[in-house]
């Protein structure tokens, strides 16, 4: 893993290594498999940030009879939430009466998660659960706690493994954390 990185003038240092990420992805997959034994939930990957986590988690799950679909929400500009959550790509599959598992990269204020769950509930699914790679508990403005959490992290900006800074750095295989405030 490289040492410090500069992206858009901000400094980042290594935070979560690939072997730790793989271990926690496998743990979350095990929890989901156990909870949905004998069922075929629909997985919903939240673009853009969750695409790498969802790809790894979905393959790790090995639930061959299930489907994965994609929705797109946006609330961030640069390193902070605008507080306004926009749906950019909607759902094109019927989820009425189905179990749904949302796959998200990070829950920060919780506003995106709460808005998404509210939108999906209007479509009458049998159940909705939420899996997130990262949770910034201290940043919550909603008190929302996801059902499946790979890592709880401090309230600093992170990049890599799908997470971006203004569209950059999603390609980094491991997760880096902003260290300008140290």
The catalytic residues are: 108
Q: Which stretch binds ligand IMP (CB under 6 A): 6-14, 22-30, 57-65, 151-159?
A: 151-159
Quick one: tokens of 167? 């569209």
62 or 167, CB closer to ligand IMP? 167
Q: How many residues bind ligand IMP (CB under 6 A)?
A: 19
* Contacting ligand IMP within 40-69 (CB under 6 A): 49
| Contact characters 99-138, ligand IMP, x per CB under 6 A | -----xxxxxxxxxx-------------------------
Torsion of Cα atoms, 163 then 158 then 26 then 173, to 10°? 60
Q: Which two tokens stand for residue 149?
A: 């959490």
Cα distance between residue 174 and residue 76, in whole Å = 21
Q: Say how far apart CA 93 and CA 115 lie, in whole Å.
A: 18
Q: Does 75 bind ligand IMP (CB under 6 A)?
A: yes
Provide the 3-class DSSP secondary structure of residue 61: helix
Read off the tokens for 126: 């049998």
- Integer CA distances (angstroms), 101 to 61, 94, 130, 131, in order: 12, 14, 6, 7
In the complex with ligand IMP, the residue whose CB is nearer, 29 or 107, is 107
Answer for which of 12, 15, 43, 76 binds ligand IMP (CB under 6 A) is 76
Catalog residues that contact ligand IMP under the rule CB under 6 A.
49, 75-76, 81, 104-113, 157-159, 163-164
């Amino acid at each position: 893993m490289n040492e410090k990185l500069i992206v858009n003038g901000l400094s980042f240092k290594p935070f979560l290594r690939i072997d730790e990420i793989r271990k926690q992805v496998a743990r979350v997959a095990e929890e989901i498999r156990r909870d949905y034994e004998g069922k075929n939930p629909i997985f919903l990957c939240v673009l853009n940030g969750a695409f790498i986590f969802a790809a790894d988690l979905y393959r790790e799950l090995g639930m061959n009879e299930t489907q994965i679909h994609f929705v797109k929400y946006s609330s961030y500009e640069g390193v902070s939430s605008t507080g306004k959550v926009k749906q950019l790509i909607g759902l094109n599959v019927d989820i009425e009466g189905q179990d749904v598992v949302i796959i998200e990269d990070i829950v920060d204020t919780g506003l995106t998660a709460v808005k998404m769950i509210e939108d999906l509930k209007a479509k009458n699914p049998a159940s909705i659960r939420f899996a997130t790679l990262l949770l910034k508990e201290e940043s919550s403005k909603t008190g929302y706690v996801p059902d499946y959490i790979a890592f709880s992290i401090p309230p600093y900006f992170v990049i890599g493994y799908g997470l971006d800074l203004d569209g950059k750095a999603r390609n980094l295989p491991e997760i880096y954390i902003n260290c300008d405030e140290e």
